Amino acid sequence: MAEAGHEVRARHEFRGMRTVEHYFTVPLDHSAPDGEAITVFAREYVSASHSADSAQNLPWLLFLQGGPGGRGNRFGSLGGWGKAAAKEFRILMLDQRGTGLSAPVDRNTLPLRGTAAEQAAYLEHFRADAIVADAELIRKALGSGPWTVFGQSYGGFCALTYLSFAPGGLKEVLITGGLAPLTGPADDVYRATFQRVAARNAEYFSWYPEDRTMLERIAGHLRTTPEFLPDGGPLTVERLQMLGAFLGGNTRVDSLHYLLEDAFTETAAGPRLSDPFLDQMQGIVSRRSNPLYALMHESIYAQGQATDWSAWRVLAEYPEFRPHADPLLLTGEMVYPWYFEQDPALQPLREVAGLLAAKQDWRPLYDVRQLAANRVPVAAAVYSEDIYVDRKLSLETAAAVRGLEVWETGDFHHDGIADDGEGIFSRLLGMARSGRR
């Protein structure tokens, strides 16, 4: 195995914490360690309550962010789960490859790889297996023994890959909203999540029945009047449905009401969508800042078979989510081919996305036999009504991992650690260490 180059470039102290900026050099393709290399960034966070000397003796905790395509959190201070973890850990916040400062992937950088086929081949190296291999090289470069890993959402998927292929690097694993299905096609995931999203729509509009009227008014307006976002891209009914992203959490679901309430403004030409509304919609529907999510989202479920635009195909089974349905429903985190037509940031990547959707020979992401023989303590929070990671599929995975302790709760949604991160982290850490719920 290759060794990671390691460089520390900056250290800072502010608001009760110290940070260290780490840059690592790792192989693009871990099966060819002498080939092309990329740079992976991670930031260390340590509570200033620990002296500089004593902090060097703290064990490491690696945080794996949700995604794919989500960079590591940038803490302004230690709160929530970070506050709880910093009591006894040095936190390493990884920018997973392709995100943040780690060989970022976007419409500007990808064309440097060459043709669409060459770009797609490059992106094959940006899944959980490569992220885990990066993490192992980083762990060794830091001189750490087996460390604690905390995975949120897609970070939990990566943690299962870690347990599959490099369990010797793990002391204990905590997972929130991230127990991926170990086998089966992506279609199974979307059939489950479409049903949960429909139920969440019903729940939301029971709280805010006036928002049902407003949503239909906006949709009707868009069917007759062209509206454009600040980047010049169209706001269509399909893109309006992407507001369902708000439904996946408790900490921001009510913000959807605030967004909808000032959708319209009066103009000389009659009612039009307001600038504040369009500006906020831009931030919700554009993938300018994280195109890797749209490109790689379905591939996180792919093992040995093509996804073939799974969510788009499964949508045909749920006509209530069509843009002309009455009543109109909001969608979840699904990615559709038209994203690469309507989003200016994704249009240059349309052919690449099609090649990835058609790819048949994706490598395995999990070793079911290794997970069945697992000896690493694992504790996972499963959110009963999670619209992104289905409860039933999560519990099936939990049962397939030897010794995995489950805490199922209906008190939180997918963004649970934004709601009560300190309590959730502390509970899971205690479960992993005690073997009891």
Active site residues: 153, 361, 414
Q: Which two tokens stand for residue 302?
A: 């792919």
Q: Are 81 and 424 in contact (CB under 8 A)?
A: yes
Please state the φ and ψ torsions of residue 336, each to the nearest 5 degrees. Answer: -120, 160
Closest CA to 250 of 387, 64, 382: 387
Q: Are 147 and 169 in contact (CB under 8 A)?
A: yes
Write out the chain in H/E/C secondary structure. CCCCEEEEEEEEEECCEEEEEEEEEEECCCCCCCCCEEEEEEEEEEECCCCHHHHCCCCEEEEECCCCCCCCCCCCCCCHHHHHHCCCCEEEEECCCCCCCCCCCCCCCHHHHCCHHHHHHHHCCCCHHHHHHHHHHHHHHCCCCCEEEEEECHHHHHHHHHHHHCHHHEEEEEEECCCCCCCCCHHHHHHHHHHHHHHHHHHHHHHCHHHHHHHHHHHHHHHHCCCECCCCCECCHHHHHHHHHHHHCCCCCCHHHHHHHCCEEEECCEEEECHHHHHHHHHHHCCCCCHHHHHHCHHHHCCCCCCCCHHHHHHCCCHHHCCCCCCCCCCCCCCCCCHHHHCCCCHHHHHHHHHHHHCCCCCCCCCHHHHHCCCCCEEEEEECCCCCCCHHHHHHHHHHCCCEEEEEECCCCCCHHHHHHHHHHHHHHHHHHHCCC
Q: Are 164 and 371 in contact (CB under 8 A)?
A: yes
100: alpha, beta or left? (left if phi > 0; alpha if psi -120 to 50): left
Please state the φ and ψ torsions of residue 135, each to the nearest 5 degrees. Answer: -60, -40
Q: Are 133 and 40 in contact (CB under 8 A)?
A: no
